[in-house]
Structure 1
Amino acid sequence: MGRSGILAGAERIEPAHGEPESATVAQAAVASARGAEVVLRRPDGTIVPLPPALTRLVAASLRELSAGHAVTVLPSETMLTPAEVGELLGLSRPFVSRLLDAGEIPSERLLRSRHRRVRLSDVLAFHARRESRRQGRRAVAGAAAEAGIPY
């Protein structure tokens, strides 16, 4: 029995025409309301306060939507296949397999199987480390260029 792609079933929100502008207004309201309570008003008038974690999620989503970007929502504990990790990071599945073999990204083998699964939070941590190293290399190259040192 085949496994349906986790990324294919993820909740993806595309900004519709005019929504980036209203998302910008909402983002400014949330950003200026530091310490204020963000609430949901139900059709019957009942007000439900959003927990701080959900407020941060809404603020992050508003930033992306106001820039015209789509937002995809997945739990960080989602288990991905190496192919899905490659799709998410823009890498080939064989390269991802080498990263898993080297322990660069933690993975778990399925019982009595050659197949592996990778936790989304581990993929995101790997991506953050990779981006940090990339920024460090850019900073070194920029400093070397400013000093006239060949790099």
Structure 2
Amino acid sequence: MSEQALSERPPTENEVRAASEAARLLAKALTPDGLPFSVQKNGDQVQVELPAPLGQLMLDVLTHVGRGEMITLVPYGAELTTKEAADLLNVSRPFLVKLLDEGAIGYHKVGSHRRIRANELLAYKAKRDKVRRSALTELQRLGQEFDAD
């Protein structure tokens, strides 16, 4: 087993298999009331009941790993470096710095380093994605009009 976190590397074949199997089993157990399961350690068995939203989050994580994808969980209140923020937006670090300098995303400095609050970054991403979806919808509408002519 690798010591490196899954946010820094793709999962191994064994991790993909284990995550896929766990997701399959837990998906069958997830109900609107929650996700009941048991954990066994040192011969002791403990029953756990997660509320449905937490159960769904667990399944989402396992599903991504089961697809062989790297994952990163970011707490909403976390402070991110410019590299981490750029990675989450899937843009280059210099492009992110340009967005910061333009005021598109709020940040503060710790010494000479910029820090971006995850909630501000996620708000920017949601706004950006909404604009992109609107543009795509408009392009689809125009394409349909063109095809109809």
The answer, yes or no, to whether TM exceeds 0.5 is yes
User: Amino acid of the residue matched to residue 121 of structure 1?
Assistant: N
Gaps of 5+ in 1: 1-8
Counterpart position of 1:100: 100
Q: Does 1:14 align with 2:11?
A: yes
Shift of residue 107 of structure 1?
0.9
**What is the TM-score with the length of structure 1 in the denominator?**
0.71
Between the aligned residues of both structures, percent identity stands at 26
RMSD of aligned residue pairs (Cα, Å): 2.8
Query: CA, structure 1 residues 35+52, in 2 after alignment: closer, same or farther (shift >3 Å)?
Result: closer
Shift of residue 88 of structure 1?
2.8
String of CA shifts for 1:119-139, please: whole Å, max 9, x gaps: 123222222221221111111
Number of residue pairs matched by the alignment: 138
**What is the TM-score with the length of structure 2 in the denominator?**
0.72
CA distance in 1, matches of 2:59, 2:75: 17
Counterpart position of 1:117: 115
1:2-151 alignment runs, 5 A limit:
12=7, 14=11, 16-17=13-14, 18-19=17-18, 21-26=20-25, 28-31=27-30, 33-43=31-41, 44-110=44-110, 113-148=111-146
Question: Which has the larger helix fraction?
Answer: 2
Tell whether the 8 Å contact from 1:20 to 1:68 is kept in structure 2 after alignment: no
User: Amino acid of the residue matched to residue 117 of structure 1?
Assistant: R
Tell whether the 8 Å contact from 1:27 to 1:62 is kept in structure 2 after alignment: no
Gaps of 5+ in 2: none
CA distance in 2, matches of 1:120, 1:87: 12
Query: CA, structure 1 residues 70+116, in 2 after alignment: closer, same or farther (shift >3 Å)?
Result: closer
Q: Which moved more, 1:61-70 or 1:11-20?
A: 11-20
String of CA shifts for 1:106-127, please: whole Å, max 9, x gaps: 21122xx443200123222222
